[in-house]
Amino acid sequence: MKQDLLDAMARSVIDGDVSAAADLARQAVAADINPLEAINGGYVAGITQVGERYGCGEAFVPDLVLAGAAMQAAMSVLEPELAKSGSQRETLGVVVLATVKGDIHDIGKNIVGTMLSASGFTVHDLGADVPTDRIIDKVREVGADIVAVSALLTTTMVEQERVVQALEEAGLREAVKVIVGGAPVTGQWVESIGADGFGEDAVGAVAAARNALGR
């Protein structure tokens, strides 16, 4: 019975069924299933499969968006239960995520945040059009291991370099890895600004984060 429920959770994410994902999470709570088990054995299994299919060209951006929405709906039910039980997910690292100042595009960033969270990172998403000083303040506040900043426009890419510079000026650069992303970002750009990696998509961003921390 439990495995059937876990399988249904995974399927709800694969199908991008927000309503089903939330309902199944409530069923798990009612059945006294450990919320960590529901998250890892059900929903994470589903979104991992979507990510793998995306990487193979068998799924597309809309599939990731819908899967992310389903995952978030489930987490909104299960995270309070985690808090009540005093449990917490093992984390691979703490990430401060943002779209840089002057850039309001956030769909790709949101997908990256969902995939990082599903993969075991603790993600603090500051949103879009985020000033560099706010990013630095958040890094200090949460003791971030990684800053992940997105820029979809060539005109806002320079803000990624400013984030790297601001971390250096704040004396935080040695302790914090910087991952960048966005349509115009290339390996050459990453090297030129002194960042630690980049992802061409959400799956690549997770790989870059893992590599940056030696995971």
pLDDT by residue (tens digit) across 17-71? 999 999 999 999 999 999 989 998 999 899 889 988 988 889 888 898 899 899 9
Mean pLDDT over 165-174 rounds to: 97
- In this structure, the number of other CB atoms found within 10 A of the CB of residue 134 comes to 14
CA distances from 13 to 60, 91, 123, 148, 152 (A): 14, 21, 19, 24, 27
Which CATH topology does 2-85 take?
Answer: 1.10.1240
**What pLDDT shows up at residue 197?**
94
Q: What is the DSSP letter of 39?
A: I
Rounded Cα gap, residues 11 and 193, in angstroms: 41
What pLDDT is stored for residue 154 in this prediction? 92
* Cβ contact 111:50 at 8 Å: no
| Confidence (pLDDT) at 168 | 97
Query: In sequence order, what DSSP letters do the residues of 53-79 get, joined into one string?
Result: HHHTTSS-HHHHHHHHHHHHHHHHHHH
pTM score, whole prediction: 0.81
Exposure string of 194-210, with b = 16+ CB inside 10 Å and e = fewer, is ebbbbbebbbbbbbbbb
Q: Any idea where the domains of the chain sit in the sequence?
A: 2-85, 94-212
How much is the average pLDDT of 182-200?
93
pLDDT for position 201: 84
**3-state SS assignment for residue 207:** helix
Q: Report, at the CATH architecture level, how domain 94-212 is classified.
A: 3-Layer(aba) Sandwich (3.40)
Q: Pick the more confident residue, 7 or 1.
A: 7
Output the pLDDT for position 64: 87
Mean pLDDT throughout 189-211?
Answer: 92
DSSP 139: H
CA dist., res. 185 & res. 60, Å (int)? 20
CA distance 116 to 97: 10
CB 209 within 8 A of CB 146: yes
Q: What is the pLDDT of residues 78-132, one digit of tens each?
A: 989 888 877 667 789 999 999 999 999 988 898 899 889 888 899 999 999 999 9
- Can you give the pLDDT at residue 91? 86
A 10 A CB-CB count for 49 gives: 16
The per-residue pLDDT for 87 is 67
pLDDT tens, residue by residue, 146-166? 999 999 999 999 999 999 999
Tokens of 57: 């060209």
Predicted pLDDT at 79: 87
| Helix spans in 39-142 (H) | 44-55, 61-85, 107-118, 132-142
47 in Cβ contact with 115 (< 8 Å)? yes
Distance of CA 104 to the CA centre of its chain: 18
